[in-house]
Chain A
Amino acid sequence: MTNSPIDDATPTNTLPKPKGPIRTGAVIPTVILLLICFVFFHFFFDWSFKRALTWTGSHFYGAEVDIHSLKTSFWRGSIQIRGIELTDKQNPALDFLRIGEIHFGFLWDALLRLKFVVNNAGVDGIALYAPRVHPGWLKPSPKPSSGKTLKSNTSAESIGNSVVSQVKKLSPGDTLSGLAGLLQGTKQEALVKDLQGGLKSEARIKELQTEITQKQKEWQQKFAALPQKKDFINLINRAKALKFNPRNPKQFAENLQQAAEIKSELDQKLKQIKGTTDAFQSDVRNLTAQYKGIDQLVQQDIADTEASLHIGNLDAKTLTQALFMNWLAQKLGAYAKYMSLAREYMPAVKKSSSKKSSKSSGFFMAHARSHGRTFRFPITTGYPLFWLKRADISSKATASGFSGNITGSLTNVTTDPAIVGQPAVLDVKGDFPKADVYKIHLNVTINHVHKPLDTMKLSVGSYPVSAMKLVNSSSLHLGLKNAEGNSLIRAAYNDQTLNFNLQNTYTNVIYNIRSPSTQVKQILDQILTGITTVTLDASATGSLDHLNIGMNSNMGSALANGLRRYVQQQLNELQAKIKSTIENRIAGSKEQLAKQMGAAQNQFEKLLNSKNSEVRSAQNAILHQTTGRGSSLNNAANQLKKAAQHLLKGLHF
């Protein structure tokens, strides 16, 4: 045991050299780790960050977003992004917006508190609709969520889609295509096809016929259960058998009781007949009302058929809505989407949190936690999670590019407007000479300091309009080929109420009219040639899930007046034809129904009348019997009274 390796080794030879308190072996791994971090942040971080921004931006915006270069500085806390390109969702070959450079620096004081505060940022080189090197990627559009309510799905995208689908529903449909079809004569054939389907009035008549047959069976059962003639004769015979003899008081009392029983039985039978009569009359009234309702359904069928044939009213309002409603729906949808986004990311202070903020100005404020309580002390130097104090926007137009002369500023964009106490304001003015867009003035105020109030005013003095589609169907293509636009949009979104006004004017308008029918093309050409200026005034008010849309355009009025000359006669004829076709189609069945109703009513009314007469005669007979006996009873009583008086007189009382 003494030769144990432990015993040999431990005393002197292998005693490790005493080590100091610092773990020197950890120095090299630490240095390597720091070196790796440095290499990543120096060489790869900007690239990775750029890729992350591009990917996130593309998915968030819904179309390809490109960034040419990105440079960060750890020590300065700054970021410089160059060449931001946002693909146009309508035309992926163009960039909707191109920004030459964005640069900003974060405050280190805020960064050390895990907050992101930008004192001053710069945005330069703004260009609109510049051509892309390659067409941009577009995110597939989600399925419309028409069946969902706003409450069930509150994301900004779905709110925008919901507004679009809601406004589109208010559109009278493709009325102009319908009218074009009317001119071509195709609507007569379509009418025959359309009417091959079921009519609501026709279906209702069939339902009523079935209901009447069923009711007839019910009535027959009820009438069979009513008292018969023999029952009444039996009662009369029983009444006749009553004697009411005053000399036999016992029999007299029994007869009285029997008379009461007969009367009670008669009352019961009367009640039964009255109940049946009331129920029958109620059913008749109900069926008559339903029969009258058929006329309303006929009107509904006529309106539905007209709508399916797209031949609405030839008034200015309908035609204006038919022309511009879908276009307006997109504008309102976009506005609603971005306002909802602003509310999501820049939330207004809530009632509960306002209490917190008022308390936080005091000495202590604590709230219960699952593990302990967290105290809040007065904030003397606090920042919201993100705060862009000011960004100056400037851009100079160049001869070659699509950039514009833009000046403006963006102030107080923050995740916590209550702390900042100022609304976010974007104010931009400028021109894009290359794109022929002049006198742009955009002012957006997002005030979420207390109650949300978002306002926007956008005016564009002049901008080119090309290939604006208004009607696009197989029978008609109508749009503005070229025009010069002028636009003024004012919108206010207060808490839950939207107030949106739009005034657009298109001057020097050249129309794009195409139709398989030469006649349609000629007519529309004639109507629209004189109208070189198109005005459009639109408004939308109300909550996002229930908007009231108002719309007025001289183009709608001109089309209404012009088309009326050519189409009114055909329209009237077709409307009359629809009416007569539907009425003729249901006339037979309606008449049959009326006959069925009349026959049933007569049959059962006769039965009821005979029953009533039976009851009346029985009632009279029984009354006669009882009152006749009653008079003899009275006579007997009087005689008795007189005899008693005579006797009293004899006794000298």
Chain B
Amino acid sequence: MTLLLKQIFGFVKLLNSETGTNQIAAGIAAGFVLGMTPFFSLQSILIFLCLFLFRVQIGAAFIAAFFFKFVAYLFDPAFDSIGGMILQMHSLSGVFTDMYNMPIVPLTRFNNTIVMGSGVVSLILAPFVYLGSRIGVIKYRATVVARIKGSKLWHALKATSLFKWYYKYDQLTHR
């Protein structure tokens, strides 16, 4: 829980800084794929492994996954139709039969309509989500963050000794 909170605080901090735009965007895209997957399966483990090994903002991924989990529920009927259509494609039946009889691959539960539908849709949309969230983060920084930094309240807060003390502490911990 502490680790999760740390990641979420890290996300908020990074979002309000001037760096890590790609990390945040990649995290949101990964969270999007994670949130769209209905069950805990092999591909979920693979995404978690990527989050762990690559410099992707984990907090962003978690928040995005949490958000998209609710959104995905609304699209389940559509995923079911798309997944069913793909799984029943005659031209792919040989491939699916081979995959079904392979070791490990059935653990992805690709033969479930919602897993297949949501997987295909989320993989297709993931680059767009990445680009969209990148643009969104840049615009957020340019408008919202800049406006906050220009406000009197922010200046007053910066002048307090508590803020100075925190800033020093933060610099020391990240050195």
Contact = CB atoms under 8 A, between A and B. Distances in A.
Interface of A: 1, 4-6, 9, 14, 16, 19-23, 26, 30, 109, 112-114, 363-364, 366, 369, 371-382
B158 A372 contact: no
Contact of B38 (A112, A114, A371, A380): A371
Contacts of A20: 55
B158 A23 contact: no
10 contacts: A14-B175, A16-B19, A112-B103, A372-B80, A372-B114, A372-B115, A374-B111, A375-B112, A377-B111, A381-B101
Contacts of B52: 23, 26, 30
A9 B171 contact: yes
A375 to B, nearest CB: 5
Contacts of A382: 101
A22 B100 contact: no
B93 A5 contact: no
Contacts of A30: 52
A113 B168 contact: no
A21 B55 contact: yes
Given A113-B106, A373-B80, A23 B113 contact: no
Interface stretch (B61-69, B83-91, B126-134): B83-91
A112 B39 CA distance: 20
A371 B97 contact: no
B11 interface: no
Contact of A113 (B88, B96, B103, B159): B103
B87 A375 contact: yes
Given A375-B111, A377-B96, A377-B111, A16 B101 contact: no
Contacts of B79: 372
A366 B111 CA distance: 10
Nearest to B18: A10
A19 B57 CA distance: 13
B10 to A, nearest CB: 13
Contact of A21 (B54, B93, B112): B54
Given A6-B167, A374-B111, A377-B101, 13 more contacts: A4-B159, A5-B164, A9-B171, A19-B55, A23-B53, A372-B76, A372-B113, A372-B114, A373-B112, A374-B113, A376-B100, A377-B111, A379-B101
B104 interface: yes
Interface of B is mostly: helix
A5 B157 CA distance: 12
A374 B112 contact: yes
A113 B105 CA distance: 8
Contacts of A372: 38, 76, 79-80, 83, 112-115, 117
B174 interface: yes
Contacts of A378: 97, 100
Given A364-B88, A372-B83, A22 B54 contact: yes
Nearest to B171: A14
A80 B62 CA distance: 44
Give the interface centre of A4, A16, A377 by most chain B CB atoms within 10 Å. A377
B55 A112 contact: no
Nearest to B50: A23
A19 B171 CA distance: 17
A26 B87 contact: no
